[in-house]
Amino acid sequence: MSAQQSQPKTGAQGVPVSILKEGSQRTVGADARRSNIMAAKVVSEILQTSLGPRGMDKLLIDAFGDVTITGDGATILKEMEIQHPAAKLLVEIAKAQDAEVGDGTTTVVVLAGKMLESAESLLDEGIHPSIIIDGYKKAMDYALEAAKGVAIPIDITKKEELVKVVANSLSSKVVAEARDYLAQKAVEAALIAADKVNGGYNLDLDWIKVEKKKGKSLYETQLIQGIVLDKEVVHPDMPKMVTNAKIALLDTPLEIEKPEWTTKISVSSPQQIKGYLEEETSILKSYVDKLKSIGVNVVIAQKGIDDTAQHFLAKAGIMAVRRVKRSDIEKLAKATGAKIVTSIKDIKPEDLGTAGLVEERKVGEEKMVFVEQCPNPKAVTILVRGAADRIVDETERSLQDALHVARDLFREAKIVPGGGAFEMEISRRIREYGRKLPGKEQLAVLKFAEAVEQIPVILALTAGLDPVDAIAELRKRHDAGEIDAGVDVLSGKIARMGQMNVYDPLIVKEQVIKSAVEASIMVLRIDDIIAASQSKVGGGSKKSEGGEGSEGSKED
């Protein structure tokens, strides 16, 4: 039954019955599934050319004309402003993948699309969606179990072990040429910030700040032991370098508070105006005197600092920085041991933080403030450099992915061969498992294996290989026991990934399988799409909660 306008139905007594608003559209059954699967396949096909080290990048232009060049799946989907509800589901799984493990966003969307494409062929043969769903669940459980058998444990205290995995996660990015250098910086930062907990390690990425500044080259990217603020000292007469700093972190403006309501002041003489201004000055001076009396020599404020207060701070020899981001204030609090103060009148010496050095330095054409030699050495900053804004932006995104991969390895110190070798081996094992199953579920499990096998096929395509020849050789070598045989995209041949040190974290691959299956099942369960008519409100369209265009969907 195809999409149609809502028509009144005739009841038993011949009375028309209409349950939907006039102008609503309803698509049911096979047409609804076909529509959703097609939307998901289109999104998957857009991303599949970006998969792997030889994948292409996308140039995205938003409504304001801002340009983004990236090969990162999550970034591409975020910038595309997708409207179809089923396609939005793939955007959501990419976001979840990015938030959970920070890598594999392109793979998860491509795999979900291939799973739905495989399911579509079974639907066309008359197999019920529930049977396909049950088969996919069984295949997923078996795949996750098989993944543990393929995984190799690593020693995360060895820097070189971490670097080879983290560098592999950067090989498909715009910054791939500098992947080894950037991976070194990411791993060094991760090892500094990691905590030893219950015999294992925990990495809190809040300790690691990624700051960017255009200029020089990618190879000028630095790891700073401390916090770097993209701000400058507020007054030219203030010291530009303070050693043995006593730092006050203020979450209150260093200026006269404005009343919350409208006020008027009546004056009858110039002396009254003068007295009013002098009182304001006196209040600001008292704030500065209070800070100086407890030994403050650096003030870092989240809000504004009045010009008069700047003058008094400079006279007192106190360095001050204003309008610092809340996230940076919180990092400084952890790094320096300071408390974030909301009232200057109540500040005490024990509220202050300490640092060996606070210095304003010129980076490129601008100035930045470096807070170094902090009492908590876990606080570090990676200062990203690059020749152009877009390179710097992409490097920042890539480093965030690299840091997530390092965190994944601390969470579970197991790796699997990359280059499609893992997917090829899992596909082979699922196929063997599926052939032992009775009934139609066997067909769903075999289609699942076929979908997983598409990842090395796409890697072969992006590397310029013949996919048929590549998959035939991969099957032959995996059947012979070469678990790590994969696609060497750089030299364009099938090779042993272990010998090339091409590995991925196990936890990333597990999350890819889970997310792709969950998204596929969600789409397959939908058999009815009811799209309400758009209400005109003030000349514009009113959009309901749950998606643009007021589209909703009903599950079985």
Q: Which residues are catalytic?
A: 72, 105-106, 401
Query: In this structure, what DSSP letter does residue 480 have?
Result: T
> How many CB atoms neighbour CB 243 within 10 A?
12
Buried b or exposed e, range 57-93, using 16+ CB within 10 angstroms: bbebeeeeeeebebbbbbbbbbbbebebbbbbbbbeb
In degrees and rounded to multiples of 5, residue 8 shows phi and psi of -65, 140
**Which amino acid is residue 469, in one-letter code?**
D
Q: What is the Cα–Cα distance from 291 to 297, expressed in whole angstroms?
A: 8
Q: How far is CA 373 from the centre of its chain?
A: 30
If you search the block for the tokens 């995995």, which residue do you land on?
165
Helix axes 467-479 and 454-462, enclosed angle (nearest 10): 130
Any idea what the Cα angle at residue 81 is, between residues 170 and 3, rounded to 5°? 125
Q: Tokens standing for 257?
A: 């508070």
**Which residue do the tokens 């993944």 mark?**
147
273 C-beta neighbours (distance < 10 Å), count: 12
**Spatial distance between the Cα atoms of 247 and 249, rounded to a whole number of angstroms:** 6
Q: Which two tokens stand for residue 114?
A: 């291939």
Q: Report how far residue 383's alpha carbon sits from residue 219's, in angstroms, rounded to the nearest whole number.
A: 11
- For 530, list phi and psi in degrees, rounded to 5: -115, 110
Q: Residue 77's closest CA among 119, 105, 41, 39? A: 105
